[in-house]
């Protein structure tokens, strides 16, 4: 079974971005809602509210994903 997760950043405070050289980053884990088990190979999509550009990541075997090098203010 394939799982798709969409993350849309609408305003400040909805997601935590960590400063990093060259930009910020967002990371997290995708887990099954009932069992809490990690979801491997889930598609995670990220979009800034003022842009039609989507970034896509896939979770690893432990359900982890990461977006790096994000410009400030997105």
10-residue block means of pLDDT along the chain (74 residues)? 48 42 85 95 86 87 93 66
Q: What is the pTM of this model?
A: 0.64
Determine the pLDDT at residue 54. 85
Query: Where do the domains of the chain lie?
Result: 4-70
What is the signed CA dihedral for 29, 34, 35, 41, rounded to 10 degrees?
Answer: -40
Number of Cβ within a 10 Å radius of residue 50: 10
Say what the pLDDT of residue 12 is. 34
Which pLDDT score, from 0 to 100, does residue 13 have? 35
């Amino acid at each position: 079974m394939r799982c798709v997760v969409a993350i849309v950043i609408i305003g400040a405070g909805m997601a935590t971005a960590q400063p990093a050289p060259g930009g910020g980053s967002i990371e997290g884990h995708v887990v099954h809602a009932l069992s809490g088990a990690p979801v491997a190979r889930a598609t995670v999509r990220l979009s800034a509210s003022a842009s039609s550009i989507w970034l896509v990541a896939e979770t690893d075997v432990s359900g982890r994903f990461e977006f790096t090098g994000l410009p400030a203010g997105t």
